[in-house]
Structure formats: C-alpha cells, structure tokens
Amino acid sequence: MTKTYDVAVIGAGVFGAWTALCLRNAGAEVLLVDAYGPGNSRASSGGESRLIRLGYGPDEIYTRSAQRSLELWKQLFAEGGPETVTLFQDTGVLWLARDRDAYCEAVLTTLPRAGARIERLGRDELAYRFPQISLRQTTWGILEPDAGILLARRAVQTVVARSRELGVNYLQARITLDSQINADRLVFACGPWLPKIFPELLGELIHVTRQEVFFFGVPAGDERFVPPAMPAWIDFNDLVYAIPNLDGRGFKLAIDAHGPEFDPDNGERVVSQTGLNAAREYLAQRIPALADAPVLETRVCQYENTSNGDFLIDRHPEFEKIWIVGGGSGHGFKHGPTVGEYATTMIGGTGTPEPRFSLATKQRVRSRQVY
C-alpha cells in the first residue's frame, strides 16, 4: 500500500528543506521532492556562499527574522559536528555608507532595537581598518560583527540530511499539478519554477531574473582579502556585494541589480561580456589591487522576485490543500529557518498571518522595496 503523508513539500531548496524539517519536528509525516537534487546548480539555493546580515534598513521584520534564522543555522551546524560547524563563516558584514544615506541610517536604528551588535565607523576608521577598500564616495560605515557567510549548497544539503535522519522521506522526481501524490497537503516551494507550475496565478506576480557572479583571483600570499582582514561587505548605493576569499575560491563580487528574464531549466549559465566588464569596472574603482585580477570562477544563478521583494507564503486561492512558499527575491536564503517555522504554523493552523507574505499583497507592477 502506498504511504499517505501529512504533507508533501515540492522543492528541496532552502525554503522547502527548512519547511520539511520544521514540519517533521512538529510531528508531521513528510515527503520532500526535488527535480534536480538539494543544492543543485540550477537552484536559487545552489552556489557556494550567501550573506547572512541583519541589516534591512527600516524593515525590522526581516532583521528579526535574520536574527532567529542565524540562531537556528548555528544550532543545526553545531549538531552536525566538525563537518558542518564551519558552514557558517563569521566574517562580519560591513556596510559602506554615504552622506544622507537613509537606508544605512535606518540600519543604525533597527539593529540596536533588535538587540544586535553594531559598530559605526567614520571614514578615517574605515581607511585604517580596511585600506584595501577604496572609499570613493563612502564617508562612514556600519560593521555587523556577528553576521557573516553561509556556505549555501552544503548548508541546504545539511538541512535535507538532517530531515531525513528524523524521518522525512526524500524523492528525486519532477512534479507537476497532474502528479499523483498521496498527501493531505502540498507545499510548493519551487523558487523560480513557481511561475511555471502556476502560470495563471503567478505568471505576472513572480519574475525570474538572470544574475551573474564573479570570483577573482587574489595575489599569492596576500592576506588582505581573507577574514579577518576583509569582512563581507555591501555597497548598497551601487547595489554591489562582495565576499572575501573563502576556501581559496577567490574574491566574490556580484551586482545586485535585477537582470533579464531567465528560464531556470533551459537558460545557459555562461556569464556575459557586458556583465564581466561591469564587474571589472567596479572592482578597479573599489579594490584597485584587484583591477587586473584573473577570473577564477563565474556563476549564473537567478532571483525569483515578487513585486516588492516580500516573501510569498500563502494558501492557493482555489485549492485548499495547496500552499505556496517562495519569493526569495535575492535575499531569502538566510531566512530559510524562519520561513520554515512560519510555514509550519500556518499549515498547521496555529500561526498568525503576516499580511506582507500574503498573495493579496503581490502586484503585477514591479517596485522593489526590500533589499
């Protein structure tokens, strides 16, 4: 006899994996399904590294979510012992701010209110502590000493492995709405595949964009580009983020502006010359010592953007047994644990709905507000 599950979670990216784990911890019988495998190269949760920072400008809801998530990530990694404890790298995260910088000024307010540690650094202090960074228009900064980097692909695989240890069944298969799954409820946490699965509902509400990432080689024996000499950092005004040389992979740089529309199944994952030129132009101005650095690796991934960047965690309006969990919008990876907790309480009927995560608040006109 085929087993009947309480919940089947479709998608083993960071949102789906944590949702499956949290549902299992709540006592549910869970099936977790993915078409290509946890942390695969097509997934938004694939790749080697992701920032986990607490600063979200005035958006305290995401600051507190990131705080809780960081606690749960660390707990999960500690349970795995030496093999997983290093999947969080405490590099710190540095914000590069300008005069009259409303977003960074809001970070100064929301983080202390949430009990997070920060250091406000003037221009002279920045120049002294991080001489390898050319300040240009930067006049001050914020250092989050407790933030850092999650080693993304391995982190997702660790969540799935832990859920399987606790009794979640995992299946690698392509699922459509016509697939026969014996489960009382279905959770579609398919990231960039959501508009494909629900084209009439989400085709104009979630947009999948092509994003390019570059890893540049650092000079031999040069310690300026590894922690603690260099933290991860964010230049919010130019929509650029950077990750120091971790595991010898090179200095990672990405421009966070949304790219063109992208197909996660069939899109070619080869970076463009235009993207490389833009990355090099920025690098030459911000990190002059790496102006001529060789490219070691490149990556094309994708964001799945809602109209304003808020998550989508809600029941399907026409099918009571179907839930949708997605809308990571380029900033979601770090929040996997709290998304899983919230989805579990909502599916179980014990949660308090957050209007910002509802389908009703998603619009067709894109106006990014969450960064």
Tell me: do 247 and 167 sit in the same domain.
no
Tell me: do 144 and 159 sit in the same domain.
no
- How confident is the model at residue 1, as a pLDDT? 41
Tell me: do 268 and 122 sit in the same domain.
yes
Domain with 103 in it: what CATH number?
A: 3.30.9.10
Note the helical H segments in the chain. 14-25, 60-80, 102-113, 123-129, 152-165, 194-197, 199-202, 273-286, 336-347
Question: Is 169 a member of any domain?
Answer: yes
Number of domains in the chain: 2
Tell me: do 101 and 235 sit in the same domain.
yes
Question: Is 245 a member of any domain?
Answer: yes
Tell me: do 18 and 139 sit in the same domain.
no
Tell me: do 356 and 211 sit in the same domain.
no
**What residues make up the domain containing 96?**
90-148+207-305
Question: Is 370 a member of any domain?
Answer: no
- How confident is the model at residue 3, as a pLDDT? 87
State which of 274, 289, 305 marks the end of a domain.
305
**85-111 confidence digits (pLDDT tens):** 999 999 999 999 999 999 999 999 999
Tell me: do 223 and 201 sit in the same domain.
no
Question: Is 16 a member of any domain?
Answer: yes
Q: Which residues of the chain have pLDDT under 70?
A: 1
Question: Is 62 a member of any domain?
Answer: no
Q: Supply 25's token pair.
A: 């911890």
Tell me: do 136 and 187 sit in the same domain.
no
- State how far the Cα of 156 lies from the Cα of 248, in Å rounded to an integer: 21
Tell me: do 230 and 108 sit in the same domain.
yes
CB atoms closer than 10 angstroms to residue 345:
15
Tell me: do 139 and 256 sit in the same domain.
yes
Question: Is 65 a member of any domain?
Answer: no
Instruction: Please give the order of strands across the beta sheet that includes 183-188.
Output: 169-172, 30-34, 5-10, 183-188, 322-326, 312-315
Cross-strand bridge partners of residue 324: 188, 314
| Predicted TM-score (pTM) of this structure | 0.97
φ, ψ for residue 211, nearest 5 deg? -130, 135
Question: Is 78 a member of any domain?
Answer: no
Question: Is 58 a member of any domain?
Answer: no
- State how far the Cα of 234 lies from the Cα of 282, in Å rounded to an integer: 13
Q: Supply 134's token pair.
A: 């050319």
Tell me: do 295 and 316 sit in the same domain.
no
Domain with 320 in it: what CATH number?
A: 3.50.50.60
- How confident is the model at residue 2, as a pLDDT? 75
Tell me: do 217 and 270 sit in the same domain.
yes
